[in-house]
Amino acid sequence: MRILIAEDNTAFAQVLQGQLRKSAIASDHVQTVKEAEQAIASLPYSAVILDLGLPDGDGLDLVRRLRQAGNALPILIISARHGLDDRVLGLRVGADDYLAKPFSVDELIARLHAITRRPGTMVGEVLHAGNVSLDTESRQVNIGSHRFVGRLREALILEVLMRHEGHVVRRGFLFDQLYGFDAKADANTVDVHIHRLRRQLSDMGATVVIHTIRGVGFMLVGSGSGAEQVASRIDKQ
């Protein structure tokens, strides 16, 4: 999963990002309410970790605005405000959980998993395409009855492509999912990962194919699906 951290204490946010990475949780960091709103509008995050005291406003206002706009994105408030009133107010305006600073990272991760596991959200499900299955929470991938052991980024790519099976996923979208929108990584790294992923899938006898849609992106199709014929026509163009 990929989450957004809205926190004006940069050093704290960076430590947090490092800890989350160890648990295979990718994250982007923003420092203001305005940046958080822009980020939420541009990427499909699994959750937001939100500090309340931000330089340009109160995190609670952001929660209120998102909920009023019908956005159900899971939100975990982290705050140095310890009062029960703050906690109640945070939950009342629509946050999913509230954690007082200081907290342990293990606790934070447990809460994150809990709020993203709610029914209706996209995480914690098992995706299927051809003979490939992928558990979106543990990121365990099985091909037939064999366990696929790949790199984290390749499992992420596979997840995104499987979520959009039979549809073209833009290269830029994949890049954002892997590195975040402010990353300085080379755009070609997406192709390197795709290349490696394809080889691993075919070595293990996966019955899915990742097609390159020239100049646009990639499309995963399972064999036997209607999308397969469409994709092979596109490949020949």
Residue with smaller CB distance to Ca ion, 51 or 154 = 51
Residue with smaller CB distance to Ca ion, 80 or 152 = 80
Is the four-CA dihedral 23, 39, 123, 79 of positive or negative sign? positive
Binding of Ca ion by 10 (CB under 5 A) = no
Q: To the nearest whole angstrom, how small is the minimum distance from the Cβ of residue 50 to Ca ion?
A: 10
Residue with smaller CB distance to Ca ion, 53 or 83 = 53
Interface with Ca ion (CB under 5 A), residue from 18, 44, 53, 83: 53
Binding of Ca ion by 8 (CB under 5 A) = yes
DSSP 3-state assignment of 13?
A: helix
Region near Ca ion per CB under 5 A, out of 47-55, 155-163, 209-217, 222-230: 47-55
CB atoms within 10 A of CB 90: 23
199: enclosing H helix or E strand: helix 189-203
Binding of Ca ion by 51 (CB under 5 A) = yes
CB-based burial label for 16 (10 Å; 0-12, 13-18, 19+): buried
Residue partners of 20: CB distance under 8 A and separation at least 6: 3, 26, 27, 105, 109
The whole-angstrom separation of Cα 49 and Cα 64 is 15
Closest by Cα among 69, 65, 30, 67 to 50: 30
Residue with smaller CB distance to Ca ion, 59 or 74 = 59
Binding of Ca ion by 56 (CB under 5 A) = no
Q: To the nearest whole angstrom, how small is the minimum distance from the Cβ of residue 56 to Ca ion?
A: 11
Binding string to Ca ion for residues 124 to 153, with x set by CB under 5 A, is what?
------------------------------
Interacting residue ranges for Ca ion, rule: CB under 5 A? 8, 51, 53
